[in-house]
Amino acid sequence: MSIISDEEYEKIFKNSIYYTDLEGIEETEFFYEYRGKPYSGMGFAQSEGTEMLSRLFIYINGIEYGISRKWHNNGFIQEERLVQENSDGYRREWDEMGNIIYEDIYIRGINIYKKEEDEFINTGGIASFRKMYNSDHEFYASEIKPREVFSKKIEKNFKDSYYINGILEIFEKYKDDTSENVIDKIGSEILKFSEEQKTMRDSDYCMFHRVVKEEEVEVKDNIAFYNNEPYTGMTSKFIDDDSISSIVLTKLTGYINGKKDGFELSWEPEEIINPEGIEKYGIHEGDYCWWSKALIKEMSYYKMGKLIDHQEWDNSFAKE
């Protein structure tokens, strides 16, 4: 059975776009378009100094939605957070040596937990969100609702609706509780639930904790080595051509202990040429053409080096 439906493909994997090619709408800092339409797909950034992947995030219908990650210039992970328009869920940050230095939890942009040197539950934030959750106001009823869940395998690495929905279930559990310590009870359950989720996400952290260029990894007997050791992390590959006006991400591969693990995604550039062929590559101005959009070509899913599923697309239905 396929690991991804056409609908899921359209929403998450169809495109990979360099973030500067997306157009933010002036009226809101949260909405982005590409070629005049709300953008759905993956966005990325590249480090100027090392030319390595420095950021990876997801847009659905113009809104940043899913797990967003940043990496330091040395390739080690810097930040991992959940975004559902606002910061919405678990967030943590690491220093350049891979040590965690900060973590917190947001729900619809409201902070309910923070851990830096000391750990504390933000009771004021929990109380504020509980008031919203318990409200009969139509706006809150439409805004605070369980998140859509795609397939479980995609959920693991690219979305985290289970996390948000789990926290919402805790607020639902105590919705009618009138005891004086109800906020403390909610906070304790959120902490317990978050610790369980962090344990589950640690396997994802292995894949995402570091990123290097694909050409820096050497594969011997189907084992990937980096600095002569089996590699754990991601590799990225970009098109390197001065004639292309925009950076194009063409491949992402995850490894654990040298074996492919998680997703391997491959895109191919879409060359858009105007009818008169003024120029083959260029920046979009008026009738000029550009090459800044990549459509998915292949996707594989591995578990401990074993290929679980593989799909290829001719991109015919993905063309606009």
Question: Which of 81, 73, 82 minimizes the C-alpha distance to 53?
Answer: 73
End-to-end Cα separation, the chain, in angstroms? 28
Strand 23-24, strand 290-303: pairing: unpaired
| d(C-alpha 122, C-alpha 114), whole Å | 7
Top-ranked range on mean pLDDT: pick from 22-26, 177-181, 190-194: 177-181
Q: Average pLDDT, stretch 232-246?
A: 75
| d(C-alpha 10, C-alpha 150), whole Å | 12
Amino acid at 312: E
pTM: 0.79
| d(C-alpha 232, C-alpha 277), whole Å | 45
Q: What pLDDT, on the 0 to 100 scale, is given for residue 286?
A: 42
Pick the residue with more confidence: 131 or 204? 131
Confidence of residue 270 (pLDDT cuts 50, 70, 90): low
Tens digits of residue pLDDT in 84-129: 767 777 888 999 988 889 888 888 788 888 887 777 778 899 999 9
The answer on pLDDT for 41 being more than 90 is no
Q: What pLDDT, on the 0 to 100 scale, is given for residue 320?
A: 38
Question: Which of 166, 162, 159 minimizes the C-alpha distance to 189?
Answer: 166
Confidence of residue 72 (pLDDT cuts 50, 70, 90): very high
Q: Average pLDDT, stretch 256-265?
A: 87
Q: Average pLDDT, stretch 264-269?
A: 83
The answer on pLDDT for 229 being more than 80 is yes
What is the DSSP secondary structure assignment for residue 199, as one 8-state letter? H
Low-confidence winner among 219-223, 232-236, 279-283 (lowest mean pLDDT): 279-283
- % of residues, the chain, pLDDT over 70: 74
Tens digits of residue pLDDT in 130-183: 988 888 776 666 667 677 666 666 655 566 677 788 888 999 999 999 999 999
Give the number of other CB atoms < 10 A from CB of residue 219. 13
The answer on pLDDT for 279 being more than 50 is no
What is the DSSP secondary structure assignment for residue 10, as one 8-state letter? I
Question: Which of 281, 232, 284, 211 minimizes the C-alpha distance to 44?
Answer: 211
The answer on pLDDT for 18 being more than 70 is yes
Give the number of other CB atoms < 10 A from CB of residue 308. 11
Task: Give me the chain's average pLDDT, please.
Answer: 78
Which structure tokens are listed for 300?
Answer: 């594989």
Q: What pLDDT, on the 0 to 100 scale, is given for residue 176?
A: 93
The answer on pLDDT for 317 being more than 50 is no
Contacts of 15 (CB under 8 A, 6+ apart): 34, 39, 40, 41, 42, 267, 293, 294, 295, 296
The answer on pLDDT for 278 being more than 70 is no
